[in-house]
């Protein structure tokens, strides 16, 4: 019984990963890091929305850009929207789990060595 549950979890996770648009994930992670690096390191922060809401809005805007830039007759449909939805969720989870900390570590090492 335990193996059946693990098999269902693995099957659901592998199905979700198969829907992920990896170009979107890479673009979202790098662009979100750049946005956070250059906008949230300003001394006078006058942003109306919290950082997490801005990231969600950026994910939606980026998914709309992907839809209109890369659409053709084969990508339209429910599967494409499911792919973008899972890509947004996967990107945000991966970014929050520590990719931003890794990028900041690399950035600090590069700029620290240049001084």
Give the model's pLDDT for residue 53: 79
Give Cα 4 distance to the centre of its chain.
Answer: 31
pLDDT band at 5 (very low <50, low <70, confident <90, very high): confident
Give the model's pLDDT for residue 45: 60
What tokens were used for 98?
């520590």
With a threshold of 0.75, does the pTM exceed it?
no
> Hey, how many other C-beta atoms are within 10 angstroms of the C-beta on 59?
22
Give the model's pLDDT for residue 61: 87
pLDDT one-digit tens code per residue, 50-73: 777 777 888 888 888 887 777 666
């Amino acid at each position: 019984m335990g193996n059946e549950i693990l098999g269902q979890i693995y099957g659901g996770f592998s199905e979700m990963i198969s829907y992920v648009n990896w170009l979107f994930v890479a673009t979202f992670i790098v662009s979100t890091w750049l946005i956070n690096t250059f906008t949230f390191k300003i001394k006078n922060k006058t942003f109306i929305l919290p950082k997490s809401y801005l990231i969600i809005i950026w994910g939606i805007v980026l998914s709309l850009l992907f839809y209109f830039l890369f659409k053709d007759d084969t990508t339209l449909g429910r599967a494409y929207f499911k792919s973008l939805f899972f890509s947004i969720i996967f990107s945000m989870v991966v970014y929050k789990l520590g990719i931003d900390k890794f990028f900041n570590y690399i950035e600090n090492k590069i700029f620290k060595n240049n001084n």
